[in-house]
Chain A
Amino acid sequence: MAVEIGGTEIVRAAALLGAGFAMGVGSIGPALAEGFIGVKAVEAIGKNPGEAGLLTRTMLVGQAVSESTGIYSLVVALQLIFVA
């Protein structure tokens, strides 16, 4: 079947491609950063097991903040799919 490509299709196609790239590229940074935080937490608990509770709490707070840009990417990707 033959198809017509107009302005609406081009905009929708760009939005879908943008959604994929937004979530794909946007997840690299937070995941790496959260991994680095986990690395240091595991290392510090290995050196000083008595502070395990404090270190785990600090790790989770730091990871939650790092996570925020990943959530922004998710929100933008969902908007590009469903709103744009």
Chain B
Amino acid sequence: MELTPLVKLAAFSGAAVSMGLGSIGAAIGEGIVAAKAEEGMVRQPGIADEIFRTMLVGQAVAESTGIYSLVVAMLLLFQDFSTVTLLDIPAFLAAGFCMGLGAMGPGLGEGFVAAKACESIARNPETSPVIIRTMLVGQAVTESTGVYALVVALLLIFVA
């Protein structure tokens, strides 16, 4: 049996899994942020700009693992299929599942943090600098497992 079509099958399936699963967490997380931001704007219309800015920063961080999924999917789709080996098949499938599943948790977790930050700023606007700082520190730690998943996916694509 020819090897190249099977490797392509694995790479394209891996790209689909990576992007499909990876978008779940980021999308839900960002939706929760927007919902809480609107709730806060209704409560405190005077600081709507501040809440909007916090919402965008929080959503941008929550989006990052979705972008990692996109990067892994693009790497799987647009690679050189001229020199393939048998072990590329499990490696590409595993890379897709690794980044796809690995992006769900950070997207959700960072979204929860940003949502609560918007709510807290609406409740107590003068504390917004310290809340935004704490939000970013907490999101940075939450991001770490997403970075691990990206590292393992890249190792599976390029090294294994």
Give the B-binding residues of A (Cβ under 8 A). 1-3, 5, 9, 12-14, 16-21, 23-43, 45-47, 49, 52, 55-56, 59-60, 63-64, 67, 70-71, 73-74, 77-78, 81
Residues of A within 8 A of B89 (CB): 13
- How many B residues, CB 8 Å from partner? 58
Determine whether the beta carbon of B101 is less than 8 Å from that of A52: no
**Among A24, A32, A60, A63, which residue has its beta carbon within 8 angstroms of that of B102?**
A24
Determine whether the beta carbon of A38 is less than 8 Å from that of B86: no
Residues of B within 8 A of A25 (CB): 101
A51 to chain B, nearest CB (A): 10
A44 to chain B, nearest CB (A): 9
B6 to chain A, nearest CB (A): 9
Determine whether the beta carbon of A31 is less than 8 Å from that of B109: yes
**Among B99, B120, B159, which residue has its beta carbon within 8 angstroms of that of A42?**
B120
- Known A31-B142, A46-B124, A81-B156; further 20 A-B contacts with Cβ < 8 A: A5-B86, A9-B86, A13-B89, A17-B94, A20-B94, A24-B102, A27-B145, A27-B148, A28-B102, A29-B105, A31-B105, A34-B109, A36-B112, A42-B134, A42-B138, A43-B116, A45-B131, A47-B123, A52-B134, A77-B148
